[in-house]
Amino acid sequence: MRCPFCKTDDSRVVDSRPSRDGRAIRRRRECLSCRERFTTYERIEEFQPLVVKKDGRREPFDRRKIIEGIMKACEKRPISINEVEAFVGNLEKDIQEKGEREIASRFIGEKVMEQLRLWDDVAYVRFASVYKQFKDLKEFMNQLKELLEK
């Protein structure tokens, strides 16, 4: 495993344990050259469906992209990275259990918005403003009014 600090390929595993969701193995490693420690995760490579975008393009499912989008919406909000990773892990599991070769980005976006609405109104509005691509302030205000009514 390549050291992220000095870029040498020699490291040893110091500790191994299952991740919180049990779907990966967390390995703590030590570089034999610079002695820095770092963490890696080993996952079973499962079949990942293609995500069909609004414009018809298809791209491989990427959990990192979903986590990054949620984290941007949750910036300076009281939602931990552990909560986000657990949600995305469950979402990924649900998608794989469907067994479909393609999944609409709309499905993923709606699931993320449902969860953000439960977690935090501000994060929800931030995500919705990008996801729904509001064309003007009126559309944005209508979304806020809908949120306040609930």
Using pLDDT thresholds of 50, 70 and 90, give the confidence band for residue 71.
Answer: very high
In a domain, 83, yes or no: yes
84-128: pLDDT as tens digits: 999 999 999 888 888 889 999 999 999 999 999 899 988 988 888
Residue 111 belongs to a domain: yes
Q: Are 60 and 51 in contact (CB under 8 A)?
A: yes
Choose the weakest-confidence range: 8-17, 56-65, 115-124, 140-149: 140-149
Is residue 135 scored above 70 in pLDDT?
no
Domain containing residue 74: 50-149
Q: Which residues contact 52 (CB under 8 A, 6 or more apart)?
A: 58, 102, 103, 104, 105
Determine, yes or no, domain membership for 95: yes
**Based on the domain organization, do 83 and 102 belong to the same domain?**
yes
Give how many domains the chain has, as a whole number.
2
The verdict on 24 and 85 lying in the same domain is: no
| Burial annotation 7-24 (CB, 10 A radius, 16+ → b, else e) | eeeebeeeeeeeeeeeee
Q: What is the pLDDT of residue 141?
A: 76
Is 2 a domain residue? no
pTM summary value: 0.62
Q: What are 26-63's pLDDT values in tens digits?
A: 999 999 999 999 999 887 766 778 999 989 999 999 99
Q: Where are the beta strands (DSSP E) in the chain?
A: 11-18, 24-31, 37-43, 50-52, 58-60, 102-104
At 97 the pLDDT is 85
